[in-house]
Amino acid sequence: MDTTSKQPVIPPVLAGISNQDLLDLVARAKSDPVAAKQALDLQKKVHEAFEKIVQGAFNIINDDEIKPEKQGIKAVSVVMLTAEAKRRSENSKRKRELAQSVMIGAIMNMDNPDWDPLDPSTHKRSDQNGLLALMEMDLSAGPQGAPSAAAAH
Q: Report yes or no on 121 lying in a domain.
A: no
Q: Which domain holds residue 51?
A: 16-66+74-116+138-152
**pLDDT on residue 150:** 43
Mean pLDDT of all residues in 14-24: 90
Q: Report yes or no on 124 lying in a domain.
A: no
Separation CA 19–CA 4 (nearest Å) = 19
Q: Report yes or no on 94 lying in a domain.
A: yes
Specify the higher pLDDT residue, 134 or 65.
134
pLDDT digits (tens, 9 = 90+) for 78-92: 888 888 889 888 998
Evaluate if residue 4 carries a pLDDT over 50.
no
Evaluate if residue 137 carries a pLDDT over 50.
yes
Residues making up the chain, counted from first to last: 153
Q: Is residue 122 classed as helix, strand or coil in its secondary structure?
A: helix
Q: Report yes or no on 131 lying in a domain.
A: no
pLDDT digits (tens, 9 = 90+) for 110-133: 888 899 988 989 988 888 899 999
Q: Report yes or no on 7 lying in a domain.
A: no
Number of domains in the chain: 1
